Structure 1
Amino acid sequence: MPTFELTRRETIAAFAASAAMPLIAKATPAWAAPATDAPASALLDSIGENLLRLNPEGATSLGVDTAKRAYLRSKLGDRTAVGQYKVAATLKADLARAKAIDTSKLSFPVRTSVEVVRSAYTTALEGFALPYGDVAVGGWRNTPYVVIQNVGAYIDTPQFLDTDHPIESRSDAEAYLARLAQYPGQLDGELARMRAARGKGLVPPNFLIDKTLDQLAISLKSTKEGGTLVESITRRTKEKGIPGDWEARARKIATSAAVPALQRQIDELRAERLKATDIAGMWSRPHGDEYYRWALKASTTTNMTPDEVHQMGLEQLAELQGRMDPILRSIGYTQGTVGERMQALAKDPRYKFSEGDKGREEIKTYIAERIAKIRAVLPRAFNTMVPGHLEVRRMSPEQEPGAPGAYGGAGSIDGKIPGKFWINLRSTDLHSKYSLPDLAAHEAIPGHVWQGEYANKLPLIRTLLAFNAYSEGWALYAEQLVDELGVYDDFPVGRLGYLQSIAFRCCRLVVDSGLHAKRWTRQQGVDFFVQKNGSNPMEVASEVDRYCSWPGQACGYKVGQSTIDRLRNKAKAELGAKYDLRAYDDAVVLGGNVPMDVLARNIDDYIARTKVA
């Protein structure tokens, strides 16, 4: 049965929560809370606690592994097949409890929370009924492959221990070692499921296996040499003056248990490599068409077909390139298609960063400068402001080869873990001065970090459940807001970067559905990006690989943004002079992370309340 796990990005994005901050003004929508809410709210709290227990890492990343939950600080999630059966059983039981709630007399917010649970759990259980892979419960990352270039404990756990597990005391250090001792069990739990999938005929594409083997080799070498797993606890206990033989104890676990477990995964992937082909799409795998239909539904929270997704991407791409053409002409790029001209722009030295570590520092500084400009205009877009507590961090060397250009999300509820903007700096050529401002808007502010800081004002279960179409749709809408607020008025090339980014997400609709439903090759996917959008070939190679390992996920972005825009146009039409951008944005973000049909009901309620105000 597929696994339930929350990777780093799910922890910081799907488990979005804020850093230390005062109470958010106007953070609670103005709905009455009748006494009949109490039983339903208590049941929702119970469901939330059940889900949190299944993911101890999430409790730590949220900063809620204290008091009665303190035992979670020394545990890791169960990645065995038995662990996944337990998750499915919990979801089935709690979905029955949620369905038994009479919502007719509940307040709007509580009724919305019940609807969110019903939707997330129903979709997840449909995924668990399929014969393989990982299922995200109210999250964004569903994958048919247990371990691959961007999936697996070999990526998630070392990074989690280093960045999210706190070490402030001896008990924290002991909890770190307890978790480290469980890490080899996570690896072997995955190993058994990898073997079971191979027995059913599910083998990843050979090009993904090759990339994964390279990354596992880096992880193996690092673990042998006392890398992140040993260095993190050694450094931090020394900084805090916590006496003990932490380095020796961590090294013993790493070398005697983690190293052999990593080697066993490498051996399994080598066995899979002998059976692998270069076919990228799910259509060629057992139950592949069924899996892709479900993955699209989970990603978009709609019933769009692969053909509908494909056509939507082509149509919106044409519209966006129609907006890019005059800007390109205005700066002297007049020859060739929009894609060809964007390729030429990418070679312009004015917009490149230096090579090596000098360029990496330039990138970090540039991000900080652009985020400061964005922060200055946000009061014009929101009545309810949040701090956007943020830290820019480089991805780990083990992760960078198989990772996208960046990702991000909010930090912990207690503020001890700041929001992160993780940037891939394996090469400074991945980024340009005209594309980074938009990337910062998407991953950080007012995108994932910003949106995440509202979620902790909701009940626990709402903090834990997120939906790809909402999370990524909001992040694209955040890019749009930055442009609408005039940040690029004096930087037209920056506006090109924004439009190319949105067009890039249209290409995702085309390429994802092309790979998994229309039998495209990997190279066809790469070529479409480069030729149609002028994308960086180095970046899009990893992008296309990502679609191969996370089918459907990339389609949630544009579907979500298009829904938010459609609902905004509806609000403008129905409210007329009463429409206000700040009130609309508050309605979207304060209503929480929801499926698209629930978002529509939230906006209908906002419109109705505004009409009578």
Structure 2
Amino acid sequence: MTTDRRTLLLGGAAAAALAGLPRGVVAQGAPTPGPLDPLFDRLVQAQLRRSPEGATSLGLDKGANADLRAKLSDQSFAGIAAAKAQNLAELRELEAVPRASLTPDQRIDLDCVLYTRRSAARIGQFDFGGSSYGPSPYVVSQLSGAYQSVPDFLDTKHKIDTAADAEAYLSRVRAFARQVADQTARMRHDAGVGVVPPDFILDLALTQMDKTATPSADALVVTSLRTRAAAKGLDPRYGRDVGRLWDAEVLPALTAQAAYARELRRTASHDAGVWKIPKGADFYPAALQATTTTSLSPEEVHRFGLDQARALNARLDAELKKLGYAKGGVGQRMDALGREAKYLYPNTDEGKRQAIAYCNERLAAIRTRLPAVFERMPPYTFEVRRVPVQTEAGSAGAFAQAPAIDGSRPGLVYFNLKDSADWPKFALATTTYHEGLPGHQMESGLALSNTGLPLIRKLGGFSGYGEGWALYSEQLADEIGMYDDDPVGRCGYLVAQLFRANRCVVDTGLHHYRWSREKAVRYFVDAQGDTEGDAAREIERYCVNPGQAASYKLGHSVFVDIRDKAKAKQGAAFDLKRYHAAVLRYGRVPLDVLRQIGDTWVASV
């Protein structure tokens, strides 16, 4: 991929991280400093200081930020208020930048960073909630809250190689207890202003809380340090100390949070959408814009989803008829296909191991084909894993985690295999392409290894772009022949596309048109043949992440529209590699910015 030598100030943690990148990632020669570099560098450092967890996950808890290895983010009222104030100060500084002095590429960088601060400021006007996959009205749910995120973070992201690592781990365990207590206090505040999760969301969260709030002998946070410290020959006292900390500080905080969640559950309503909460009618459009990065209204998103679903139903109907499935609606026929034993892995640990092995095989197979359609490949390794058992009850069906920027940890794709019936074999491949290659791991890996992209841009993301690209990647996998000998897999791909169109319908249905949880679940079951359990997990996710589900198909439509315009102009001269280079060149951007990038590129070819 050819790019202009856009700027990156290698100071502090950024320099330390990039110095350790895999061979071939850092281009020869130093980028020329630009006018935005000092500002961006300060914003990056502030961002890392606000999120020690993010710094560790990206491998940026080094050098000047080495102290972050022993910290977690501040989840108190004061911490949230300070973050909002800092965001507003950064927004004022960014808005004061003289645009006329910038190159076109630098203006794109500025617009992307500005978008994140403006979006955060709009959401910050609401005095409740937290975040998981995006703005959430609830501090704690089945997908959000320290109780469910920190144990996995400590186990998989916090390295244990030295005594200093173990000491930092203990400090983070103390901070974990504070985070839980602080979030419980915010739950109380939110309940006081009428913001309480639905009863079924609290049920899911309580199931996970009870699994987390175990005695120290069974707690993942404790056993993880004990096992890894012993493997490195470290002092046995670390194992004893973490057990004492768990019993004395963490377990009481978790127990108190679960007790309060049970108190809320006694009077919680069953209403699913954010329309029920104070200011919910304002919160949903703000969340929809933040996650989709478009200005479409809920009504427009709903109509878009219905239109897309009609077209995809027709395609899927034709493919199913080729397989001999001609009777009943598309959803009924996909349900019948998904019940055939030959497409199901046993619902056992061994069966789930086989499913993960198949996904890793598909990931390796498609990687060999990608150089034919991409100018550059990410230098990182990638692998598929199973969602940890303790969080699978409320976890999303599948998701990706980007690699550490220094290459010390691979990019990861997780599948929720709580019930193997939710994942027939024909559904696994397309999701592997979406979450892995050429999907999320492709575009994030290219962005992380792009020395022309400012670090602040590598650390951010936009759901409309990221999910839109991942959905386009499912289409690309079909176009490069991954289903040529797998017609059932092609049905899996098409129903996955239909699923994302239906998400636009269901998300707006829940939060704007006041659908019930049950109506939304039934819509998925009837429209695309989902199992009740899989449909329920998806709907429950949308209930705590308003708007995010609509970002996939909206983003996909922008990528396809740009490609179609280029094809119409160039005809036989159209070059897929050049198209991919153009839309991936700037990393994740808001969809409105992507349209501008696409129009400029199409005009130039």
TM-score range, shorter chain: over 0.9
Which runs of at least 4 in structure 1 moved beyond 6 Å after TM superposition? 25-28
Aligned-residue sequence identity (percent) comes to 39
1:447 and 2:443 correspond: no
1:66 and 2:72 correspond: no
Q: Secondary structure at the match of 1:422?
A: strand
**Deviation (angstroms), 1:387:** 3.6
Task: Kindly provide the amino acid, as one letter, of the partner of residue 124 in structure 1.
Answer: A
TM-score (norm 2): 0.93
Q: Specify whether residues 25 and 314 from structure 1 end up closer, same or farther in structure 2 by C-alpha distance, changes over 3 A only.
A: farther
Task: Kindly provide the amino acid, as one letter, of the partner of residue 66 in structure 1.
Answer: K
Contact kept? 1:19, 1:410, Cα under 8 Å: no
1:21 and 2:35 correspond: no
CA distance in 2, matches of 1:349, 1:19: 48
Query: What are the Cα deviations for residues 56-80 of structure 1, in whole angstroms up to 9, with x where unaligned?
Result: 1111111111111111111100111
1:486 and 2:478 correspond: no
Question: Hey, what does 1:92 align to over in structure 2?
Answer: 88
CA distance in 2, matches of 1:604, 1:72: 42
Greater displacement, 182-191 / 421-430: 421-430
Question: Hey, what does 1:253 align to over in structure 2?
Answer: 245
Q: Secondary structure at the match of 2:136?
A: coil
Task: Kindly provide the amino acid, as one letter, of the partner of residue 602 in structure 1.
Answer: I
Q: Specify whether residues 572 and 39 from structure 1 end up closer, same or farther in structure 2 by C-alpha distance, changes over 3 A only.
A: same
Match of residue 142, structure 1, among 132, 135, 156: 135
1:122 and 2:123 correspond: no
1:430 and 2:422 correspond: yes
CA distance in 2, matches of 1:277, 1:324: 38
After superposition, residues 343-382 of structure 1 pair within 5 angstroms as 343-382=335-374
**Deviation (angstroms), 1:552:** 0.8
**Deviation (angstroms), 1:409:** 2.6
Task: Kindly provide the amino acid, as one letter, of the partner of residue 74 in structure 2.
Answer: D
Q: Which has the higher contact order (CA 8 A, sep 6+)?
A: 1
Question: Hey, what does 1:477 align to over in structure 2?
Answer: 472
Task: Kindly provide the amino acid, as one letter, of the partner of residue 468 in structure 1.
Answer: S
**Deviation (angstroms), 1:606:** 2.8
Contact kept? 1:451, 1:589, Cα under 8 Å: yes
Question: Hey, what does 1:262 align to over in structure 2?
Answer: 254
Question: Hey, what does 1:568 align to over in structure 2?
Answer: 563
Match of residue 524, structure 1, among 514, 519, 525: 519
Query: What are the Cα deviations for residues 153-199 of structure 1, in whole angstroms up to 9, with x where unaligned?
Result: 01111111100111111111111111111101000110111000000
After superposition, residues 5-44 of structure 1 pair within 5 angstroms as 21-24=22-25, 38-44=34-40
Question: Hey, what does 2:159 align to over in structure 1?
Answer: 166
Question: Hey, what does 1:7 align to over in structure 2?
Answer: none
Question: Hey, what does 1:271 align to over in structure 2?
Answer: 263
TM-score (norm 1): 0.92
**Deviation (angstroms), 1:107:** 2.4
Match of residue 541, structure 1, among 529, 536, 557: 536
Number of corresponding residues: 586
Q: Specify whether residues 229 and 18 from structure 1 end up closer, same or farther in structure 2 by C-alpha distance, changes over 3 A only.
A: farther
**Deviation (angstroms), 1:574:** 3.3
Query: What are the Cα deviations for residues 124-153 of structure 1, in whole angstroms up to 9, with x where unaligned?
Result: 1000001211257xxx42110000111110
Match of residue 111, structure 1, among 104, 107, 122: 107
CA distance in 1, matches of 2:409, 2:525: 38
Q: Secondary structure at the match of 2:127?
A: coil
Contact kept? 2:380, 2:403, Cα under 8 Å: no
After superposition, residues 97-246 of structure 1 pair within 5 angstroms as 97-135=93-131, 140-221=133-214, 223-246=215-238
CA distance in 2, matches of 1:558, 1:468: 11
**Deviation (angstroms), 1:576:** 3.9
Contact kept? 1:470, 1:594, Cα under 8 Å: yes
CA distance in 1, matches of 2:584, 2:569: 20
Task: Kindly provide the amino acid, as one letter, of the partner of residue 220 in structure 1.
Answer: A
Contact kept? 1:529, 1:535, Cα under 8 Å: yes
Greater displacement, 487-496 / 99-108: 99-108
Question: Hey, what does 2:601 align to over in structure 1?
Answer: 606
Q: Secondary structure at the match of 2:296?
A: coil
CA distance in 1, matches of 2:44, 2:394: 32
Task: Kindly provide the amino acid, as one letter, of the partner of residue 471 in structure 1.
Answer: G
CA distance in 1, matches of 2:426, 2:489: 4
Greater displacement, 250-259 / 414-423: 414-423
Q: Secondary structure at the match of 2:196?
A: coil
Greater displacement, 589-598 / 493-502: 589-598
Q: Specify whether residues 542 and 135 from structure 1 end up closer, same or farther in structure 2 by C-alpha distance, changes over 3 A only.
A: closer
CA distance in 2, matches of 1:184, 1:361: 34
Contact kept? 2:25, 2:379, Cα under 8 Å: no
Structure 2: gaps (5+ residues): 1-17
**Deviation (angstroms), 1:607:** 3.1
1:398 and 2:390 correspond: yes
CA distance in 1, matches of 2:380, 2:48: 24
**Deviation (angstroms), 1:341:** 0.5
Match of residue 276, structure 2, among 273, 278, 284: 284
Q: Secondary structure at the match of 1:39?
A: coil
Question: Hey, what does 2:12 align to over in structure 1?
Answer: none
Query: What are the Cα deviations for residues 15-55 of structure 1, in whole angstroms up to 9, with x where unaligned?
Result: xx999533359999xxx98x7x6232221111111111100
CA distance in 1, matches of 2:573, 2:236: 64
Contact kept? 1:41, 1:110, Cα under 8 Å: no
Greater displacement, 179-188 / 562-571: 562-571
Question: Hey, what does 2:548 align to over in structure 1?
Answer: 553
Contact kept? 1:343, 1:536, Cα under 8 Å: yes
CA distance in 2, matches of 1:433, 1:184: 41
Match of residue 410, structure 1, among 377, 391, 402: 402
Contact kept? 1:18, 1:453, Cα under 8 Å: no
Task: Kindly provide the amino acid, as one letter, of the partner of residue 506 in structure 1.
Answer: A
Q: Secondary structure at the match of 1:398?
A: helix
CA distance in 1, matches of 2:26, 2:378: 9
Contact kept? 1:187, 1:265, Cα under 8 Å: yes
Query: What are the Cα deviations for residues 434-454 of structure 1, in whole angstroms up to 9, with x where unaligned?
Result: 010001011111111121112
Question: Hey, what does 1:318 align to over in structure 2?
Answer: 310
Contact kept? 1:127, 1:135, Cα under 8 Å: no
CA distance in 2, matches of 1:27, 1:513: 49
Q: Specify whether residues 203 and 146 from structure 1 end up closer, same or farther in structure 2 by C-alpha distance, changes over 3 A only.
A: same
CA distance in 1, matches of 2:363, 2:595: 30
Task: Kindly provide the amino acid, as one letter, of the partner of residue 393 in structure 1.
Answer: R
Q: Secondary structure at the match of 1:593?
A: coil
Contact kept? 1:44, 1:114, Cα under 8 Å: no
CA distance in 2, matches of 1:310, 1:380: 37
CA distance in 1, matches of 2:190, 2:109: 35
**Deviation (angstroms), 1:608:** 4.3
Greater displacement, 146-155 / 593-602: 593-602
Contact kept? 1:128, 1:135, Cα under 8 Å: no
Query: What are the Cα deviations for residues 101-141 of structure 1, in whole angstroms up to 9, with x where unaligned?
Result: 112232233221111111110011000001211257xxx42
Contact kept? 1:161, 1:176, Cα under 8 Å: yes
CA distance in 2, matches of 1:525, 1:146: 23
**Deviation (angstroms), 1:392:** 2.1
Contact kept? 2:387, 2:416, Cα under 8 Å: yes
Question: Hey, what does 1:6 align to over in structure 2?
Answer: none
**Deviation (angstroms), 1:604:** 3.0
CA distance in 1, matches of 2:532, 2:586: 38
CA distance in 2, matches of 1:388, 1:528: 39
CA RMSD of aligned residues (A): 2.1
Q: Specify whether residues 583 and 26 from structure 1 end up closer, same or farther in structure 2 by C-alpha distance, changes over 3 A only.
A: farther
CA distance in 1, matches of 2:602, 2:19: 28
Task: Kindly provide the amino acid, as one letter, of the partner of residue 337 in structure 1.
Answer: G
**Deviation (angstroms), 1:206:** 0.5
Question: Hey, what does 1:589 align to over in structure 2?
Answer: 584
Greater displacement, 126-135 / 285-294: 126-135
Task: Kindly provide the amino acid, as one letter, of the partner of residue 590 in structure 2.
Answer: P
Greater displacement, 193-202 / 427-436: 427-436
